[in-house]
Structure 1
Amino acid sequence: MKPDTGRLDSYGLVSRGNDVRLQQDPVAQREYFDLILREYLSFCATSRSVGDLRDTFEGLGYRGTGPGQRRASAAAGRTSTQPAAASRSVSLGAGRGAADRGAAGARGAAPTAADPAGRETLVRRRQLDDIVMALRTLREAVLASPPCALAKSVLLLSIRVTVLLGHYESYLPSMLQLLDTVHPVLPLSDAELHEVVALYALHLVHFANNAAEAYAVMDKYNVRDDLPLRQIIAAMVDCDYVLWRRRYVGETDPGRRRMMAFGERNMTRQTLKRLGMAYFHMPVRDVERLTGWSWDDCVNVLGCGWRLEGDRVVMRERKTRPPAGGGAGGATAAAAAPAASGAANGPPADAAAGAALPATAPAVVPPAAPKPAVRAVSAPAAPPARAVSAPAAAHAARP
């Protein structure tokens, strides 16, 4: 009986050794790739709009976190954040920033089949899981053979799908295999190479926190003329949260934006840190505008310990000086004032009259310093007179 090959779970993983049919049949590989592509396009076609599709990928994405995000996730207790519709509106990037907050909540909260929205979420998540697993199965099958055009297409599709999900366990091996193994044999086009290198560089900066390697990869593959990419990396290295936030909000490529999302939590934390050093208090709407996060998310996700008083966020308390008069502080200041003025104008009158000195205190006269001995210096002796003969004297006196 011929097995059913019209489903995504028709083949097993080559790495587990339980199914090698796909590895040995190039025709089956092509058919399986076409099946995966049809399923992926069908999944995208069920979305109502491009924005809804982007929110779907962000909401169904994997909860992979970089080194700088694990501490924040642990501090937040891995609890779900509030949905964007229930949180305060954010004026800077209101649409996309709010969508990211809602996506974080969708990842944190487990959907249930009790409500229709939960059932739809579970169905779509299962579809994405099947597509990702099928891509892994096909990737393992084609990599066992020498590089070919099908292998390049499979790796590119795997990168483009799993990058939108933030599934670094899938897109990172595909990037490395494509750049190190396939590209030297079957060169990528300029657009494909630029796309893969840019995504890999953003992954290195925002997820692995390795800007030096990102610059090295860009120089190796001659991707130097991408000014927005270089500005994003420089802003991440310099903690320039204003430039980074501007680029993040204005990014139109969904893959790049998903890579930058790995570093959003760290950059938001840097923003809060610098605001706390520069201001004592600030309106809450300005905090949300500069960070791109709602106040509830700053408290629940990032663990911000500032105090909210009405519409104002109190970051630091001012240190007040003690009052000049009244109370114990005033008495101390009043007692210290005459002493200070007396020290400035000379001794007080009673001290000058000898009231503060003992009556029998003898006057102590310091001994005079000995004068240095003067050494007598004799005058220099006059030179001896020169004897002049009489004829010479007469000749000198002659007119």
Structure 2
Amino acid sequence: MSDMKHGSNRGGRRHIQRNAWSDRVGSGKQIIVYGGAEGSDLDAKLARRKARFAKEDTQFQRDKEKNFGLTSRGEDLRLQTDENARTKLYENTIKRSRQFIREGGEGRNRDDILMNFRKLRESILRLGATESSKKILLGSMRFSAWIGHYQSYIPTINELLDNQHLDSTFLDHKELEEAWSYLCLHVVHFGMEYEKGFRIFFDHVKGNETVYRLLVSYTTKDYYTWMKIYSLLSKEKKDWQKINYFKILQSAAYDVVLKSVIKQLQCSYFVLDRKLIEEFTGLQYEILVKRFDLNWTLDLVSSLVKLRERGSREKGDIAQIN
């Protein structure tokens, strides 16, 4: 009986061992599963897990196709080598940029659009002066000018002009003047390089009366004339080149001009009509006062704004605009 019992136990252990199998898990421990039923359950779980990961891998691949990397960082060369992928990204980016502009610049797509244009610009560096390069660069320049992002429109303009140097037919006359005029306004208003700005104007933008008047009024500190032109440009609805003039000026010089105007007003006047101030600055009185932290007071009955107390000029009490 004893032998039979021991033999039975040994046989049972061998039976268990034959029906046992192991699976490695992340912790490195070995899990022993006994019996066929539990093994079947685990097989089913593994199958479901495999299917889930396969689905995630498919989605990852789709996302990867949409989210191209930057060539300059060595992240991704697909846009550089795959014309079809580059065309699709360009068309999608142009569509999104137009929608962004139609919505008045609202939404969270601004940086994504800028990044897409950057990826496209980097992908065409080796292409040279092609029609595809031209479309990408003009689209990038116009969108980045519209949002006042000089970190994008300046390198884009430089690429356009480099290609124009390689092929004089790359841009037509209107496109070339557009690029030079944006650069001219930026150089004077943001870079304060007056001589360079006028040289660009007389060499490349000579017939553009709007740009000339802006350059002259800004460099001579004739801010009354400058603000009048700025106000007219702000109302432009059809001419996209002039709309972008306004956007460039708004980001590069408007605050600088406004601060100088406020100082001049405070030095020259004690009291001014509210409507006159709003027409001249292009801002509502409340917004202007809050934006520049002004110590002005408004008489609600007469609509007169007191800019400073009489005698404050001698006392040095004029508000400082930082």
Partner of 2:79: 22
Q: What amino acid maps onto 2:308 in structure 1? A: R
1:218 aligns with: 201
Segments of 5+ residues of structure 2 without an aligned counterpart are: 1-57, 237-241, 313-322
Q: Where does residue 293 of structure 2 map in the other structure?
A: 303
Deviation at 1:244, TM superposition (A): 1.1
1:232 corresponding residue in structure 2: 214
Specify the alignment match of 1:293 in structure 2. 283
CA distance in 1, matches of 2:283, 2:100: 30
Partner of 1:146: 128
- Partner Cα separation in structure 1 for residue 85 and residue 272 of structure 2: 63
1:193 corresponds in structure 2 to 176
Residue 232 of structure 1 aligns to a residue whose secondary structure is helix
Q: Give the match for residue 314 of structure 1.
A: 306
Q: Give the share of equivalent positions with the same residue, in percent.
A: 26
Tell me how far apart the structure 2 counterparts of residues 287 and 31 of structure 1 sit (CA, whole Å). 49
Deviation, structure 1 residue 235: 1.0
Selected match of 1:36 from 74, 85, 93:
93
Tell me how far 1:219 sits from its aligned partner: 2.8
Residue 271 of structure 1: aligned partner: 261
Distance 1:247 1:207 in 2: 17
CA distance in structure 1 between the partners assigned to 2:145 and 2:272 by the alignment: 37
- The verdict on how the C-alpha distance between 1:284 and 1:174 changes in structure 2, with shifts beyond 3 A counting, is same
For 2:243, the aligned partner's letter is P
Which is helix-richer, 1 or 2? 2
Is the partner of 1:299 in helix, strand or coil?
A: helix
- 1:132 alignment partner in structure 2: 114
| Corresponding letter in the other structure for 2:249 | M
SS at match of 2:81: coil
Per-residue CA deviation, residues 42-78 of structure 1 (Å, 9 max, x unaligned), is 555xx4xxxxx4xx12xx4xxxxxxxxxxxxxxxxxx
Q: Is the 8 A contact 2:187 2:197 kept in 1?
A: yes
Report the number of matched residues: 242
**CA-atom RMSD, angstroms?**
2.5
Specify the alignment match of 1:364 in structure 2. none
Q: Distance in 2 between matches of 1:177 and 1:194?
A: 15
CA deviations 1:130-150 (Å, max 9, x no partner) are 222111111111113433221
**Contact 1:202 / 1:214 at 8 angstroms: preserved in 2?**
yes
CA contact (8 A) 1:148 1:186 kept: no
Q: State the distance in 2 between where 1:148 and 1:169 align.
A: 24
Shift of 1:171: 1.0
- Assess if the C-alpha contact under 8 Å between 2:223 and 2:261 holds in 1: yes
Shift of 1:218: 2.0
CA distance in 2 between counterparts of 1:303 and 1:40 reads: 35
- For residues 295 and 197 of structure 2, what CA distance do their matches in structure 1 show? 34
The reply on whether 1:256 has 2:245 as its aligned counterpart is yes
CA distance in 1, matches of 2:307, 2:89: 57
Three-state SS of the structure 1 residue aligned to 2:91 is helix
Indicate the SS of the match to 1:143.
coil
Structure 1, unaligned runs of 5 or more: 48-52, 61-123, 321-399
Quick check: 2:201–2:212 contact (8 Å CA) kept in 1? Answer: no
Shift of residue 195, structure 1, vs aligned partner: 0.8
CA distance in 2, matches of 1:217, 1:152: 22
- Secondary structure of the 2:293 match is coil
CA contact (8 A) 1:271 1:290 kept: no
Report Cα offsets for 1:183-229 as digits up to 9, x if no partner: 112331110011111111111222222222211222333x1111111
Q: How is 1:25-104 mapped onto 2 (pairs within 5 angstroms)? A: 25-43=82-100, 47=102, 53=103, 56-57=104-105, 60=106
Residue 182, structure 1, aligned to residue 163, structure 2 = yes
Paired with 1:167 and 1:219, the residues of 2 have a C-alpha distance of: 25
Amino acid at match of 1:294: Q
For 2:206, what is the secondary structure of its paired residue?
coil
Q: Give the alignment's TM-score, normalised by structure 2.
A: 0.68
Structure 1 residues 205 and 26, CA, compared in 2 at 3 Å: closer, same or farther? same
- TM norm structure 1: 0.55
